[in-house]
Amino acid sequence: MKIAYVSTYLPQQCGIATYTNYVIQGIQKVSPLVDIKVVAEQGASPVKQKRFEVVPCWDRNENYVEPIIRNIKDAEIVHIQHEYGIYSLDDRLPTLLTRLKASGKRTIITIHCVRPSQFCVRGVVDEKFVKRLAELADEVIVHLDSQKAILERLKIPSEKIHIITHGTALNDADKKESRRKLNLPEEGKILTVFGFLNPIKGPDVSLEVLKEIREEVEDVYLFIAGGLAPTASEKDRKYVQSLKEAIKKDKLTDNVLFSNGFIPNEEIPYVFGASDVVLYPHYHEDRSASGSVHLAIGAKKPVIAYRVPKFEVVKNISDELLILPGNVSGIAKTAIRLLTDREFERYVLDRTERYRRATSWPVVVRKHLRLYLGVD
């Protein structure tokens, strides 16, 4: 069996590239005789190995249909990783799927994000586009129940939609060693916010949370692990500057730790390994899974997140970790309880351990393989 993945790929700084890499690594471990080809966007590094190759051959800003078609001819299954920002909302991707269907290729699409039209600037355009993609593909993978519900509302047959949770990379990095590697304080409690800095990620909310926690917990720090995205807008840059000004104004300089911008993949296990609690005060109406949350869970760290669709998987650990958007005191009190109530912390950690095992990448890729073989 030869599978061609159409996706961004490493070393591109893209969550879909990282996700696809995790899927491929998992399949190589679970089923090493599968032949894998990544038909990647330009920017990926070319690779040519036995049973694995990466062919960077297309550009999202150009007509990518022909270069992709040329490079999937030797594959039996074509698996497209879809995200709005990569493929846009024009006819190119539907044309590609139509051509694949006509050629007899079995096509699978993972739709990483579904946007309800009431929350889209373009209205129903996003919904109609995703519906069209799902109709053209042979099988559709989504990560969340809420995503499947929208596709079903759009009249996509239920049996065609497969919920396969985002995978979890198991990480047992030692806390003190992780802190030494990142030059973080070896003692004290560290709350972490991870990812590119912008208003949606809510680092300003995390600063307010830190102020409340500091009143009850000694030696507590907020680690802002990430920097501006390469495509950051002027608005984002001004926002980060305002964060730094707020830190000085509120006398939080000694309690806020910044990374040196983008966190390379090899350091990510240490970011979560160093943490005591990971915060996700992000506000999204998109239906999409959070790879970052799975990284935190994989490191067996308690997660506190806004009660929004993106973080719905956290309820599988404890619904008490999901806080209404804007409830700074609710996040702070939950963090304080995790940091001071050993029985509650143990309850959360035990359930985190069970969930990270149940969603580990080997478990997830076996579900992919069953789908590829038509036995899901």
State the pairing for strand pair 189-194/113-114: unpaired
Spans of all domains in the chain: 2-167+360-372, 175-358
| Full pLDDT tens readout for the chain, 376 residues | 999 999 999 999 888 999 999 999 999 999 999 999 999 999 999 999 999 999 999 999 999 999 999 999 999 999 999 999 999 999 999 999 999 999 999 999 999 999 999 988 777 888 999 999 999 999 999 999 999 999 999 999 999 999 999 999 999 999 999 999 999 999 999 999 998 888 888 899 999 999 999 999 999 999 999 888 777 889 989 988 999 999 999 999 999 999 867 788 889 999 999 999 999 999 888 899 999 999 999 999 999 999 999 999 999 999 999 999 999 999 999 999 999 999 999 999 999 999 999 999 999 999 999 999 987 5
d(CA 110, CA 368): 11
Class of 2-167+360-372 per CATH? alpha beta
Residue 51 CB: number of other CB atoms within 10 A? 12
What pLDDT is attached to residue 130?
95
CB-count exposure of residue 137 (10 Å: 0-12, 13-18, 19+): buried
Q: What pLDDT was estimated at residue 27?
A: 97
Q: What would be the CATH architecture of the domain defined by 175-358?
A: 3-Layer(aba) Sandwich (3.40)
pLDDT at position 376: 56
Q: What is the DSSP string of 223-270?
A: EEE----TT--HHHHHHHHHHHHHHHHTT-GGGEEE--SS--GGGHHH
| Rounded-to-integer distance, Cα 293 and Cα 271, Å | 13
What pLDDT, on the 0 to 100 scale, is given for residue 277?
A: 98
At 146, the amino acid letter reads S
| Closest C-alpha among 42, 38, 12, 13 to residue 27 | 38
